[in-house]
Chain A
Amino acid sequence: MREERSDMSEDEDGGGGVEQKERWGSSHGGGCCGSAKSRGGVWTDPPPPFSDQVLENVLENVLQFLVCRRDRNAASLVCRSWYRAEAQSRGELFIGNCYAVSPRRATDRFHRVRSVVLKGKPRFADFSLVPLGWGAHFSPWASAMAAAYPWLERICLKRMSIADDDLSLLAFSFPFFKDLTLICCDGFGTPGLAVIAEKCRHLRVLDLIEAYLEEEEEDEVVDWISKFPQTTTSLETLGFDCVDSAVNFEALEALVARSPALRQLRVNHHVTVDQLFRLMVRAPQLTHLGTGSFGPPAALAPQGDVMEHEADLVSAFAASSFAEITADELKPVIHHCHNLQKFWVLDTVRDEGLQAVAATCKDLRELRVFPLNATEDSEGFVSDVGLAAISEGCRRLRSILYFCQQMTNKAVITMSKNCQELVVFRLCIMGRHLPDHHTKEPMDEGFGAIVMNCKKLTRLAVSGLLTDKAFGYIGKYGKSIRTLSVAFAGDSDVGLRYVLEGCPKLQKLEIRDSPFGDPALLSGIHQYYNMRFLWMNSCKLSIRGCKDVAQRLPRLVVEVIRDRPEADEETVEKLYMYRSLAGPRNDAPPFVKIL
């Protein structure tokens, strides 16, 4: 898979390289058959008049097999003919930043889209760093798609603001709609869900992942579960653990009973353990089961039938992640889960619990350990011991998110050597600037080992006491890194420079509370058109530096967000910049200044 190249010198229009590029390749003419020798070649006779259309039809049929969007982007750059054919055959539209391109432009280019993935706010919005009302409204996209894509089947939105009316528009505009996945979205409520349930007769997936539904009074809550069609449904995935309001359990049970295709079910905390058991009995074919949380704290006491079910589950019961399970409660259950691949759990299971996981779950691919007490100075339940144990036992680990109060370089180095398949490594040592617990040294060597040894690493989140040296390692070895999250780290501008100069594949860079200033920002000028975005808050940036970047890169939207009006004009508290073909957005709230 070739990564798209967007060197400034190749761009004819001087524009940026975005994922849906409006660029024309250098070899025009309809004679491109994809063979190397005709590319760039010159035709001596004018091509026969129909060959273009014939060729494009053939091309479309061939390009259909290209699924990966990066491959498609590359194919679209070959020549006009390929560009058109690709545009006609692209079935899934992925837009990593809803402000990078206008809805109109996207729908003008791609006509036969069946599936749309759209992302909005920067990730740090999850941690209250982006003020409310910042943007990422789904409405303009909903309208554009309703008009352009009547055969649309799937929509996946992440960090978008969606109104009930938007959901209504979806339900009425797309008769073949099958899949709605909303991740960390907000702005809608049960009325919106009700319309979807009622009108989307072919719905297969309704997956709400950590959505913030609108607050509703008791009498405003709509019984959306009852709105599903009364006949057998085609539901395969139903996830509503983030919905605060209770659902009609009888209706839910009946729904599960008439949904033979249901494989993944996530219910909210209003569903009790007993009710959950009833659901499991109704749907023995489930492969994924989760709860928002248990009502009263219930120990996972193994009970006869329940245990058999759990052994079949690919993602664990405890994947609810909100149950305060101790090591003793976990052990008898996890002991059976040999096939477990994805495990999300609270740190209440302690290092001991993780050791049990490591002993049994040899095929574990993804582990997330969340802290019960998400504060800096709380008692830590897991530590370097747990991490090392996991690395010893789960050699196939690909993705890890680990919150802890103390860590050692040694454990991280051990993981770097044992888990060569790591693609995502996110370690959060919750105390800011905390050094290695034993040696008191910075955590540079640990993270250095990760980038050095894990050749497949594309996502990295660092923490603890880190000097510029750590960034030196990242810049030197992190050649595949696409997403980097930095907080309270580094000594000087040099740190950021290392990264911007050393990581060619960098797409998403989010930094907070680190001593990087204008010189560091300017050192990345060559890189910003290759990236989706850069976020920096509470660093040492000034308006001057940001303006400088904005002037030099016209296709970059540079947003300065000020959430305290009394803060001085010169310093930049929050910077969010992203490449865009759409130019400065027209829905920016007053606290956003676009330079």
Chain B
Amino acid sequence: MDGGVGYVDVDALKATELRLGLPGSDEPSEKPPPPTTTTTTTTAARPSKRSLDEDRAARREPSEGGRATSTRATKAQVVGWPPIRSYRKNSFQAMKTEAEVAGLYVKVSMDGAPYLRKIDLEVYKGYKELREALKDMFKCFEGCKGSEYAITYEDKDGDLMLVGDVPWEMFTSSCKKLRIIRGAEAIRGLGSSQ
């Protein structure tokens, strides 16, 4: 582009320029202007005019707008807006946060394995996927002794439960850790169910 050609010329010229100053201490050549960050505001065409108090409120709160790329809510939340009673707001969010807090990463232990693993339950859509994933994960430990095993989990109350009885969402929200039981113990437990 023009700029590029120009630079070459300028540089050449500069080399021959008589200047005061130590050699090598060139002024940095004019860089092309940095690409403008597209500040797409998350809400549609915002008018530039805002009420005085809006500005005041914005200054009080951490700066809003301009951060378009993050997926979570970027806007600074104003107190009491939108006008939903916090009781209701909390109820809507309760289910979501419960799942997030309780069911995310859980430890998985397998009888006989030297170390435990951790998995994110949210990644799986259901029990089938979970079983596949666990099978994959502990493939290396499956000895030739036989592959009878039962997948159990410890729930909120600390009880050892068999995986698969309750609806998936209930499971993810109450599962604290997983334990894969192998061998005779597993067969005994599996006798009644399935």
Residues of A near any B CB (own CB < 8 A) = 124, 126-129, 184, 210, 212, 242, 269, 292-298, 321-322, 324, 346, 370-378, 403, 406, 428, 430-435, 437, 440, 465, 485, 487-488, 490, 512-515, 538-540
Contact = CB atoms under 8 A, between A and B. Distances in A.
Contacts of B54: 432-433, 488, 513
Contacts, number: 120
Given A210-B87, A435-B47, A376 B82 contact: yes
Nearest to A403: B82
Contacts of A128: 79-80, 86
A405 to B, nearest CB: 8
A514 B80 CA distance: 15
Interface in B31-47: 42-47
Contacts of A538: 53, 56-57
9 contacts: A127-B80, A296-B169, A322-B88, A346-B92, A432-B78, A432-B81, A433-B54, A490-B51, A540-B52
Main secondary structure of the interface of A (DSSP, over half): loop
Given A297-B95, A374-B89, A513 B43 contact: no
Contacts of B47: 433, 435, 465
A433 B46 contact: yes
Contact of A293 (B74, B77, B89, B91): B91
B133 interface: no
A141 B7 CA distance: 85
A406 to B, nearest CB: 7
Q: Which of B54, B75, B83: most chain A CB closer than 10 A? A: B83
Contacts of B57: 513, 538
Given A296-B170, A370-B88, A376-B77, A540 B53 contact: yes
B44, B50, B82, B87: which has the most chain A beta carbons within 10 Å? B82
Contacts of B86: 126-128
B167 interface: yes
A513 B78 CA distance: 10
State the main secondary structure of chain B at its contact with A.
Answer: loop
Given A435-B47, A513-B53, A540-B52, A376 B85 contact: no
A540 B47 CA distance: 20
A440 B87 contact: no
The residue among A378, A432, A540 with the most chain B CB atoms within 10 A of its own CB is A432
A428 B91 contact: no
B20 interface: no
A370 B93 CA distance: 13
B173 interface: yes
B127 to A, nearest CB: 15
A428 B83 contact: yes
A293 B52 contact: no
Contacts of A403: 82, 84
B94 interface: yes
Contacts of B170: 295-296
6 pairs of A and B residues whose beta carbons are closest in the complex: A127-B80, A377-B42, A296-B170, A374-B84, A515-B51, A431-B43
